Structure 1
Amino acid sequence: MAAADSDKIRQRYDRLAPWFDSLEGILEGLLFRRLRKRLWSQVSGDHILEVGVGTGKNFAFYPDGARITGIDFSPNMLAQAQRKRQRKQLDVDLARMDVESLDYADNCFDTVVASFVFCSVPRPRRGLKELYRVCKPGGQVLLLEHVLSSNRVMAFMMNLFNPLAVRAFGANINRDTLKNVQACPFRNIYIDPASGDMIKLIRAVK
């Protein structure tokens, strides 16, 4: 069932890939870009993994001098990122891969980054445990995610409209990502003070 769910979500992102940047353009300019910049300002270490690289929206924030790998499970989204990499002449390795089953050894990345990814992972705890596995001891996982509101009325509306969001975009708008992170054996978990009710910046230290 999870494999079938993953295939459906992948197909939706493949379909949206050519227009994805335009679809999120207004939100990107008003809010997301500022949060992405804050997220990437916390990156440290020489070997960085970006999970769910998408069309390459985070390319502008990549730190100088680090070895960076970006993965995505959608070939069409990855193709957009590859074209953007060429235009910007960026030194980043791109690979097609599913976060629920990473082809990397244990303890090999200093920082693992994901932005607006775990809303669309069929088994988010499995994916988060993979991030924990490939992160070095003392390393960090940095997440920027939209989550279920703590406001009961808003949460009811988000739960009500979630099936529509999944069908249209492949993304769940009602995930409790913080609870999923807390289910992993991280040493420390921090919520960035810039976080709001429905968008969280989370730093988890292994």
Structure 2
Amino acid sequence: MSADSNTIRQRYDRLAPWFDGLEGFLEGLLFRSLRKKLWAQAAGPHILEVGVGTGKNFPFYPDDARITAIDFSPKMLAMAQRKQQRKQIAVDLALMDVQSLDYADNSFDTVIGSFLFCSVPKPRKGLKELYRVCKPGGQVLLLEHVLSSNKAVAALMNLLNPLVVNTLGANINRQTLKSVQACPFQKIFVDPASSDMIKLIRAIK
């Protein structure tokens, strides 16, 4: 694990016990419905969730698929494991960095992540890994917050970004859609209901 990845991991380890509470308001107001919409598009017998965190997506897992889920923070993963056991969720959990996935090429029908690439030190490297492990004709589904297209808002986000990264480990000024477009996907769709700063992205390999 790189030095940058290790620093971010330590920040998420520190936040893990309070993570659900910190995002509780936004989760109920907005994020939960977006997660449900994202997971409604998941298809195929084998699905990989990257950045499982504390297991916020567990309620939306399809019943008819084998699901593998990873995270690079041991303490976030421990929170997910407790939730998995308490709610009896059928998922294989593993400690792993999205920038270096320990899976063979063309392994998964759907690869899915939510609010992940804000915290990946080298997002294009991570996205290339998602592309690699996705089966031909399969899909990568992402729910991500991105840099605003409004110049004034974007300038403020860029100004605040170092403080947010140092505190929470997440970048608020990522241009994840452009990073997805830099990968050799056949087709890329952005949900037309996406907002300026939150995007639902579907990329077909």
Tell me what 2:37 maps to.
38
Tell me what 1:192 maps to.
191
Q: Distance in 2 between matches of 1:153 and 1:41?
A: 34
Query: Over aligned residues, Cα RMSD in angstroms?
Result: 0.7
Q: Distance in 2 between matches of 1:45 and 1:194?
A: 24
For the pair 1:105 / 2:104, whether they are aligned, the reply is yes
Q: Distance in 2 between matches of 1:37 and 1:194?
A: 14
Per-residue deviation, residues 105-126 of structure 1 (Å, max 9, x unmatched): 0001000000000000000000
Instruction: Tell me by how many angstroms 1:193 deviates.
Output: 1.5
Write the letter of the residue equivalent to 1:13. Answer: Y
Q: Distance in 2 between matches of 1:162 and 1:26?
A: 21
Per-residue deviation, residues 93-144 of structure 1 (Å, max 9, x unmatched): 0000000000000001000000000000000000000000000000000000
Tell me what 1:129 maps to.
128
Instruction: Tell me by how many angstroms 1:53 deviates.
Output: 0.2
TM-score calculated relative to the size of structure 2: 0.99
Instruction: Tell me by how many angstroms 1:73 deviates.
Output: 0.1
Tell me what 2:89 maps to.
90
Q: Distance in 2 between matches of 1:65 and 1:80?
A: 24
Instruction: Tell me by how many angstroms 1:184 deviates.
Output: 0.3
Q: Distance in 2 between matches of 1:117 and 1:84?
A: 20
Q: Distance in 1 between matches of 2:106 and 2:152?
A: 42
Write the letter of the residue equivalent to 1:168. Answer: T
Instruction: Tell me by how many angstroms 1:3 deviates.
Output: 1.0
Q: Distance in 1 between matches of 2:54 and 2:19?
A: 8
1:132-151 mapped onto 2 (5 Å cutoff): 132-151=131-150
Q: Distance in 2 between matches of 1:165 and 1:148?
A: 14
Q: Distance in 1 between matches of 2:89 and 2:37?
A: 21
1:1-12 mapped onto 2 (5 Å cutoff): 3-12=2-11
Task: Tell me the percent identity.
Answer: 78
Tell me what 2:152 maps to.
153
For the pair 1:178 / 2:174, whether they are aligned, the reply is no
Instruction: Tell me by how many angstroms 1:65 deviates.
Output: 1.6
TM-score calculated relative to the size of structure 1: 0.99
Tell me what 1:17 maps to.
16
Instruction: Tell me by how many angstroms 1:194 deviates.
Output: 2.0
Per-residue deviation, residues 21-61 of structure 1 (Å, max 9, x unmatched): 00000000000001000000000000000000000000000
Structure 1 runs not aligned, ≥5 long: none
Q: Distance in 1 between matches of 2:108 and 2:156?
A: 38
